[in-house]
Amino acid sequence: MRVTDSQFNAIMQRALMDNNIRLNRVFEQMSTGKKLNHLSDDPIAAVRLEGLKKNISDNQQYQRNIENVQSQLTRYETNINTLEELSQQINELLLQGKNGALDTESRAGIVLELKSLKEEMLTTLNQKNEGSYLFSGTDIFTAAIDATTYAFTGNNDYRQTKVGDDQYVNNNLTITDVIGSNVIFTSLDSAIAELEAPTVGFEVALATALESNQQAHQTILESLTDIGSQYNSLDSKKRPVSIWCSLQRRSPLVLKSSIMPRRQQSSIKA
């Protein structure tokens, strides 16, 4: 078949154009140090790269979520430690108050201290963080306990944070988790009333208040143990995530590749 001059020129121009495209691609790769600069460079590798980038982004967010939960647990631990100290002081005062030989002035001093400790405990249970009540479950805008009736006014539901693929953890404790019930307050009021004006029910009231306080104290200690266990469990999740992200960043595909524009990733924030 005879090739005309115009056909020959067209073939040559096409060949030169293809060579220029390949040459420009090589120059761009040399300039950027990246194997992939456009989706068209290697569509299969490009899809893999986008997947790797999303995995890295997701796992970095999981790590931030874990750190946020641990920060919240530390906040709970601080407040519950306060409750534990207050409960210990209440226990000591009730033991002193059981001494029937105390004079009126000594009992009055114990009453003042018990009332003050009770108020501190109620204040701690209604503690807020950034406007949200800590111990009210998911009802974060309602106080955990009524300071007059001692009714639990929040709920016992849990807020959850995503810390891995299909992995969620609770990021709060409720007032029930921490003290069990409000009996510690009702029995304490009865003991205070007996210390102010003793009756035949003095010994029973003081013994009941001691027992209720000790039960609450045990629940407080158990909640502190649970916080420690959850914190350590999150630590074990955080380390593999950090290692995984580091390995993914070292992937030759990630190190040598960059595709622009980057697609916006879906949010998985807590």
* 170-192 tens-digit pLDDT: 999 999 999 999 999 999 999 99
Q: What is the pTM of this model?
A: 0.74
What is the predicted pLDDT for the residue at 239?
64
Q: DSSP code of 36?
A: B
pLDDT band of 46, cuts 50, 70, 90? low
Is 136:143 a contact under the CB 8 Å cutoff?
A: yes
Q: At what angle do helices 183-196 and 104-125 cross, to 10 degrees?
A: 160
Contact 178, 226 (CB under 8 A): no
Under the banding of pLDDT at 50, 70 and 90, the label for residue 40 is low
Is 190 within 8 Å of 210 (Cβ atoms)? no
Tell me which CATH homologous superfamily contains domain 57-253.
f41 fragment of flagellin, N-terminal domain (1.20.1330.10)
Write down the pLDDT at residue 25.
66
Instruction: Say what the pLDDT of residue 216 is.
Output: 98
Residue 177: what residue type? D
Domain spans in the chain, listed from the N-terminal domain onward: 57-253
Q: CA–CA separation, 47 vs 43, rounded Å?
A: 6
